[in-house]
Amino acid sequence: MNGFKTTMLLAALTALFMALGFTLGGSGGAILALIVAAGMNLFTFWNADRIVLSMHRAQEVGDADAPELVGLVRDLAARANLPMPRVYIVDDPSPNAFATGRDPAHAAVAATTGLLSMLTRDELAGVMAHELGHVRNRDTLIMTMVATIAGAVSMLANFGLFFRHGGGRGPGWAGLLAVLVAPFAAMIVQMAISRTREYAADRAGAEISGQPHALARALAKLQRGAEAIPGATATRVPAAQQLYIVPGRSADSLFATHPDTGNRIAALHAIAQEMGMIAPPTGRRAASVPVTRRRASALDPFA
Encode pLDDT of 94-105 as tens digits.
999 999 988 899
* pLDDT over threshold 80, residue 123: yes
Contact between 230 and 296 (Cβ < 8 Å): no
**Least confidently predicted of 205-219, 221-235, 268-282, 286-300:** 286-300
Contact between 112 and 89 (Cβ < 8 Å): yes
Pick out the residues of the known binding site for Zn(2+). 130, 134, 198
Per-residue pLDDT of 219-258, as tens digits, reads 999 999 998 998 888 777 776 777 899 987 654 455 566 8
Exposure string over 202-228, b if 16+ CB within 10 A, otherwise e? bbbbbbbbbbbbbbbbbbbbbbebbee
Q: Which domain holds residue 108?
A: 2-299
86-90 β-sheet, strand order: 59-61, 86-90, 108-112, 97-100
* pLDDT over threshold 50, residue 284: no
For residue 131, name the pLDDT band (cuts at 50, 70, 90).
very high
Q: Average the pLDDT over 144-171 and give the result.
A: 58
Residues 6+ apart with CB under 8 A from 126: 205, 206, 209, 211, 212, 214, 215, 216, 217, 218
Q: How high is the pLDDT of residue 111?
A: 97
For residue 272, name the pLDDT band (cuts at 50, 70, 90).
very high
Instruction: Calculate what percentage of the chain has a pLDDT beyond 70.
Output: 63
Please indicate whether residue 273 or residue 192 has the higher confidence score (pLDDT): 273
Residues 6+ apart with CB under 8 A from 15: none
Dist. CA 233–CA 94, nearest whole Å: 10
Three-state SS at 59: strand
What total number of domains does the chain contain? 1
Average pLDDT, the chain: 77
Q: Which amino acid is at 218?
A: A
Beta bridge partners of 244: 98
Q: Which amino acid is at 2?
A: N
Contact between 131 and 52 (Cβ < 8 Å): no
Q: How high is the pLDDT of residue 18?
A: 72
* pLDDT over threshold 60, residue 164: no
Burial category of 194 from C-beta neighbours within 10 Å (exposed 0-12, middle 13-18, buried 19 and up): buried
For the CA atoms of 25, 27, 32, 35, the dihedral, rounded to the nearest 10 degrees, stands at: 150
| Annotated catalytic residue, options 60, 131, 207, 274 | 131
> Does residue 131 carry a catalytic annotation?
yes
Dist. CA 52–CA 9, nearest whole Å: 21
pTM value > 0.85: no
* pLDDT over threshold 80, residue 187: no
Q: Average the pLDDT over 70-78 and give the result.
A: 98
Crossing angle, helix 261-274 and helix 212-228, to 10 degrees?
Answer: 170
Contact between 151 and 55 (Cβ < 8 Å): no
Dist. CA 125–CA 119, nearest whole Å: 9
Name the pairing type of β-strands 59-61 and 108-112: unpaired
For residue 160, name the pLDDT band (cuts at 50, 70, 90).
low
Pick out the residues of the known binding site. 130, 134, 198
**Least confidently predicted of 11-20, 206-215, 237-246, 247-256:** 247-256
Q: How high is the pLDDT of residue 294?
A: 42
Q: Average the pLDDT over 70-90 and give the result.
A: 97
Q: How high is the pLDDT of residue 161?
A: 53
Contact between 246 and 183 (Cβ < 8 Å): no
* pLDDT over threshold 50, residue 297: no
